[in-house]
Chains A and B, each alone.
Chain A
Amino acid sequence: MSMRKEFLAGFKDTLPLVVGAIPFGIIFGAFSVSAGISPAGTIGMSLFVFAGASQFIAANLFASGTGLAVIVLTTFIVNIRHALYSTTLGPHMTHLSHRWLLPLGFWLTDETFVVTANHYNQSEDGSNKHWYFFGSALFMYINWQLCTVIGVVAGQAIPDPLSWGLDFAMSVTFIGVVVPTVVNKPMALTVVVAGVTAVLANTLPNKLGLMAGAMLGVGAGLLIESFQSRKGTSHV
Chain B
Amino acid sequence: MYEALLIAGMFAVTFGVRYPVLAFTSRVRLPEIVLQGLKFVPGAVLSAIILPAIVMPDGHNADLSLSNSYLMAGIAAILISARTKNLMLTIILGMLIFISLRAITG
By a beta-carbon cutoff of 8 Å, the part of chain A in contact with chain B is 15-17, 19-20, 23, 37-38, 40-41, 44-45, 48-51, 53-55, 58, 62, 68-69, 71-73, 75-76, 79-94, 96, 98, 101-102, 104-106, 108, 110, 113-114, 117, 121, 165, 167-182, 186-187, 190-199, 202, 209-215, 217-219, 221-222, 225
Chain A residues with CB below 8 A from B90, complex form: 172, 175-176, 179
Query: How far in angstroms is the closest Cβ of chain B from A34?
Result: 15
* Interface pair A113/B42, CB less than 8 Å apart: yes
A-B contact pairs, 28 of them (CB 8 A): A37-B3, A45-B6, A49-B11, A68-B2, A71-B9, A71-B10, A76-B14, A76-B16, A83-B17, A84-B45, A90-B24, A91-B29, A91-B30, A101-B23, A101-B26, A105-B19, A105-B21, A105-B23, A165-B98, A171-B54, A171-B70, A175-B94, A176-B90, A179-B81, A187-B43, A190-B40, A190-B44, A213-B47
Q: Please, how many angstroms separate the alpha-carbon atoms of A197 and B100 in the complex?
A: 30
Interface residue B65 (Cβ < 8 Å from any Cβ of A): no
Interface residue B66 (Cβ < 8 Å from any Cβ of A): no
* Interface pair B45/A89, CB less than 8 Å apart: no
* Interface pair B85/A180, CB less than 8 Å apart: yes
Q: Please, how many angstroms separate the alpha-carbon atoms of A118 and B40 in the complex?
A: 12
Query: How far in angstroms is the closest Cβ of chain B from A110?
Result: 7
1-53 of chain B: CB within 8 A of chain A: 2-27, 29-30, 33-53
Known: A91-B30, A187-B40. 11 other contacts (CB 8 A): A19-B88, A75-B14, A79-B18, A85-B41, A90-B21, A172-B74, A173-B91, A174-B50, A194-B51, A213-B51, A214-B48
Chain A residues with CB below 8 A from B98, complex form: 165, 168, 172
Chain A residues with CB below 8 A from B20, complex form: 105
Chain B residues with CB below 8 A from A85, complex form: 18, 41, 45
State the majority secondary structure of interface residues on B. helix
Q: Please, how many angstroms separate the alpha-carbon atoms of A96 and B25 in the complex?
A: 12
Chain A residues with CB below 8 A from B56, complex form: 199, 202
Query: How far in angstroms is the closest Cβ of chain A from B83?
Result: 9
Assuming the A-B contacts A50-B14, A165-B70, are A87 and B30 also in contact, with contact meaning beta carbons closer than 8 angstroms in the complex? Answer: yes
Interface residue B104 (Cβ < 8 Å from any Cβ of A): no
* Interface pair A178/B42, CB less than 8 Å apart: yes
Over the window 51-72 of chain B, the binary record of Cβ atoms lying under 8 Å from chain A Cβ atoms (1 yes, 0 no) is 1111111011010000001100
Closest 4 CB pairs of A and B: A90-B25, A105-B19, A213-B48, A195-B51
Chain B residues with CB below 8 A from A218, complex form: 37, 40-41, 44
Q: Please, how many angstroms separate the alpha-carbon atoms of A17 and B92 in the complex?
A: 11
* Interface pair B45/A76, CB less than 8 Å apart: no
